[in-house]
Structure 1
Amino acid sequence: MDVLVLVGRILFVALFLASALSHFTQTRTMAEYAASKGAPSSAAVIRGTGLLLLIGSLSVLLGIWADLGFLLLAVFLIPAALLMHAFWKESDAQSRQLEMIQFLKDMALAGASLMLLALISHAGGDLGLTITGPAFDIG
């Protein structure tokens, strides 16, 4: 089971690590996109969310307080879904559909992150192949 959980953690964070990299390598473009969605467009905000993604992803990947890492990913995902993928604001049917898919993807990943936070916090050190145990004790 330990190997299965490790493989799952690796597959789960691949998306977030790639996104974190984009936050640092395409800061200006991402800031312009955020501005077009009505979100703060500051490069500092983009770098800050990139750092949040990076820390959360590495925490999950390496098993260093992985429950906290899942919480950080959820903290990123929920506002991102609401601010960046507000499909209900789109008048074009195709744009509305694309934004709804992204919104639902982000919310599903946030839900999975919260469930994994609870699972890891509850399981404690029983899920091996981690560097530390959980940060939280849900018991």
Structure 2
Amino acid sequence: MIKTILLILLGLFFILNGINHIVNTHIYEEYSVKRGLVSPRLMVQLSSIVLIFDGATLMFNFLIRYGVIGLSIFLIIASFSLHQFWKEKDNQLKLLESMHFAKNMAILTELIYIAYS
């Protein structure tokens, strides 16, 4: 029962983030341009689809392993291409990016645990 509730909440987290990518595409696109991402607008749009679809797999307990794989790939790509704290010169930006990187790695660890439990 607890696992089901937690999966629903985690799925909802990803779905809401995907919706946020759609609603605030311009903000995510600007951030992606600053980070040197290839085709920033397309990447933001694709990431919103991945977040919503794969979040739904967790929320509805359907094809969870595929959802975990998709979200894991997304988190790895986002972490290493967008949150490169090791390249930041400004200490505040370095701290902010390192927190985003660490958050993504924590969520990735949780997803791997879900896939194998």
Amino acid at match of 1:114: I
- Which of the numbers 49, 52, 55 marks the counterpart of 2:50? 52
Whole-angstrom distance in 1 between the partners of 2:40 and 2:86: 24
Matched-pair contact (CA < 8 Å) for 2:58–2:64? yes
Runs of 4+ in 1 over 2 A off after TM superposition: none
Q: 1:117 to 1:87 in 2, by over 3 A?
A: same
Matched-pair contact (CA < 8 Å) for 2:15–2:53? no
Q: Please, which runs of 5 or more residues in structure 1 have no aligned partner?
A: 120-139
Identity of aligned residues (%): 25
The residue that corresponds to 1:87 in the other structure is 85
Question: What is the number of residues matched between the two proteins?
Answer: 117
Instruction: Identify, as 1 or 2, the structure richer in helix.
Output: 2
Q: For 1:55-134, what aligned pairs fall within 5 Å after superposition?
A: 55-119=53-117
What TM-score does the superposition give when structure 1 sets the normalisation length? Answer: 0.78
Q: Please, which runs of 5 or more residues in structure 2 have no aligned partner?
A: none
Which structure is larger by alpha-carbon Rg, 1 or 2? Answer: 1
The residue that corresponds to 1:18 in the other structure is 16
How far off its partner does 1:79 sit?
0.7
What TM-score does the superposition give when structure 2 sets the normalisation length? Answer: 0.92
